Structure 1
Amino acid sequence: MSLIICPECGTEVSDAAVACPTCGKPLRTIPVVKEVVPVRREESDFPKWVFIPIAILAGLALLLFFIFFARNNDDSNVNLKVNASRPATTRDVARTDSVVESAPGSVSTVPGTSTAVNPPVNPPVNPPMTSTVPGTSTDVAPPTKGSVTVDAKIQNRTGNGTAPVRNARFYLLDKDVEAILTEARIEPIEGQSMMSSLGLAASFPNRFGDFQRRAMNAIKSHVKASATTNGSGKADFSSVEPNMYYLFAVTNTPQGFALWSSPVTIAPGANVLNLEPQPLTDVSSFSE
């Protein structure tokens, strides 16, 4: 055994001594041994095997839910197939009133009809179908051109009555007849006005034929429409462009001539011109 010197008092001490015998200073540290005491866990009183039947019951419930859901889907598909293949047995048809306009100012109304079929004895899977046919409206476009009816009469020599003008040619001109003849540099019959010259030429074509030919040639290029009176003194023009015109005509009888020259306005649609009875101009002084 070896000796060691105490660091406190300097006494030689055996190296196996725990403390210096002189001063009592500890010379080595006694190792401390820790005792590990195992901790025992307290086990639960609830047995683990109980979870096994719970899991089995949950699985069975889940399986039954899926089976029930799949069966409902199959029933829905069958109903859809039946509905798709079932022919329609009922239909209610409702028509709205149709308004047909034949011309401005007149409207014809066709009342609507409704047809209803009694439902079948068995309740339908789907509600009855209703089809609605929309009403139709026909609009007649307003006329763009005009028609003209001229009613012409002449007064008797006595002035007590009138007579229809038969086989007289009426013209619609784009300019006044007197202005047309003046622009064409046609001179009237000596001692007569331009209008009287037209009447005399119609009454005596052999004497004033040259004037009549030149006058009618000048008038011809300004004619927009023409018509001849019938036995009742009426002349009908058709498809006349709406505008302002000059109505011109001259007729002759053994007693004299009558002449018309006046502005008229033609509108789209029907136009009726009731002319005032024209007096006859006596031509007895020009008789041969």
Structure 2
Amino acid sequence: MIVAEYARDPWASGIVDGSVIDTRYTLVDDLIIYKSRIFLVPGSKVKQSILRALHDSPTVGHPGYFKTYRQVWEWFTWKGLKSDVLQYVRECPVCQQNKQEHTFPAGLLQPLPIPDQKWECISMDFITGFPKAQGYDCIYLSPTDGWTDGDSEQVGGRLFEELRGWSAEGMGEMDSFVVPRAGDLLQESKDIVDALKDNMPYKQSTLKKSGSEKLKPRYYEPFRIIKRVGELAYELELPADSRVHNVFHVLRLKKALGQHVVPSTVLPPLDDEGKLILVPESILDSREK
């Protein structure tokens, strides 16, 4: 195919038949050689086959740009080689799904504004999951000024720890205990939050994504963006039977690159806890101890 492409290119065909003289190029077995490397004409269809062989094959294992470029450069040369290799590696679907980007996390924390006066912002929370006592199975929690959902969750967790030892029959005796104790917990946690407010810029700049299973893909199929939600989230077009909430923070997203990106219509199989369902293709051998 390379020789056939030479015949369709005026300059390359001139090198082959001797009508074009350029001492930098030699002819070996009908192939044009430049500095010990095979020369390809612009627009050669062989480029994609070479890039697939030296980047996608299991023996090389999807190396990065520099290693892929060195592999190609060792045997072949053409105009725009570096840019072609860079584009191919950036648009590789496997690399986009599995490789980590060495960049700063996208976006900062977006904390709620701190109220200037009392009762400027009022929120409430219900702590549920208790055994019924006097016909009720939840506790109403009214956070004070400057509280966030995380503060309420923390107080709720501590209440659960203190109330977990009570039996369902004893729940009626807790009416006089829960309210004052909850107030103490609220004030104690509020003092902690006040002390941490000055550290919020540091928390914003140092937030990092937590680790995950080593062989699990970091990203899944490309999905179409429906709309932007707030400052740092996007709503995606997921399949109708999806059990995953379709709004994601930008930390969980990455732009899909490529000239022919096709949005996916399916999700990987998940169990009730949202974990991947992994089924082996075949059992090669087994052993009992």
Q: What range describes the TM-score normalised by the shorter chain of this pair?
A: under 0.3
Q: Rg bigger for which structure?
A: 1
TM-score (norm 2): 0.21
TM-score (norm 1): 0.21
More strand by share: 1
More helix by share: 2
Query: Which structure would you say has the larger RCO, counting Cα contacts within 8 Å and 6 or more residues apart?
Result: 1
